């Protein structure tokens, strides 16, 4: 069964700093997703990564995928307060169309 | 509609009662997913529909949980003999085709007292 692990689970950053969130998954996966969730809200799709070496960027966030290492990263550049949220990665089991989520990384960006 | 609609947004029920949670996906989306999210945790997969049929129901925790999608659009998640441990936010998502472009609803917060 596909397991997804994220680390760190909690992250407190200063504004302007850079950091990386890591997402490991246990078995072959066809797709890797990153979502953002604000308190009391639903999930907002950030990135979908489909192939080895895929890199996508949106503003201060950049996601990458290494299928050989079964690892995805979400890199935060020059963090700002508005990025404070919980970030989830999710992977789709091979030949399956649903998602398995990690436990989430709760990010707090402090002035 | 413009997005995935879930009703009710909040539901409080007594232990042992039966509840139904409704999900109205984006028009034309053939794939529909149910997840359960407990406080401080990631969403837990429950069931996935492709059209009217359940393509994968391996995440349903036990036989008290059942879901239907009779016309390939609206889905209802049904929970019998509710337990306090069923308390969570139940999320629904839909996609145009399986595996891409998921849109999540705002969820139903179920509290069993």
What pLDDT score does A93 carry? Answer: 82
Compare CB distances from A103 to B41, B103, B106 and report the shortest one's residue: B41
What digits encode the pLDDT tens for the residues A85-99?
A: 999 999 988 777 788
What pLDDT score does B17 carry? Answer: 98
Question: What domains lie within chain B, and their CATH numbers?
Answer: 5-98+106-112 (2.60.40.10)
Question: Residues of B near A (CB-CB distance < 8 A)?
Answer: 31, 33, 35, 41-45, 48, 50, 55-56, 59, 91, 93, 98-107
What pLDDT score does A104 carry? Answer: 97
CB contact under 8 A, A96 and B56: yes
What pLDDT score does B98 carry? Answer: 63
Question: What domains lie within chain A, and their CATH numbers?
Answer: 4-110 (2.60.40.10)
Strands (E), B1-113: 5-7, 10-13, 19-24, 31-37, 44-50, 53-56, 65-68, 75-79, 88-95, 103-104, 108-112
What pLDDT score does B99 carry? Answer: 63
């Amino acid at each position: 069964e596909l397991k997804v692990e994220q680390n760190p689970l909690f992250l407190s950053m200063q504004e302007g700093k850079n950091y990386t969130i890591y997402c490991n998954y246990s078995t072959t996966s066809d797709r890797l997703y990153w979502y953002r969730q604000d308190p009391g809200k639903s999930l907002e799709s950030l990135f979908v990564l489909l192939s080895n070496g895929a890199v996508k960027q949106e503003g201060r966030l950049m996601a990458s995928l290494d299928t050989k290492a079964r690892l995805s990263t979400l890199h935060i550049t020059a963090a700002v307060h508005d990025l404070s949220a919980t970030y989830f990665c999710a992977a789709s089991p091979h030949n399956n169309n649903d998602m398995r989520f990690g436990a989430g990384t709760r990010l707090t960006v402090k002035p | 509609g413009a997005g995935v609609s879930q009703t009710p947004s909040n539901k409080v029920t007594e232990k042992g009662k039966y509840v139904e949670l409704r999900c109205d996906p984006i028009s034309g989306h053939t794939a529909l997913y149910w997840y359960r999210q407990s406080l401080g945790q990631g969403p837990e997969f429950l069931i996935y529909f492709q059209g009217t049929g359940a393509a994968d129901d391996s995440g349903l925790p036990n036989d008290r949980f059942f879901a239907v999608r009779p016309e390939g659009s609206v889905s209802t998640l049904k929970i019998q003999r509710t337990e306090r441990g069923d308390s969570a936010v139940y999320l629904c998502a839909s996609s145009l085709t399986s595996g891409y472009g998921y849109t999540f609803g705002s969820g139903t917060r179920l509290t069993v007292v």
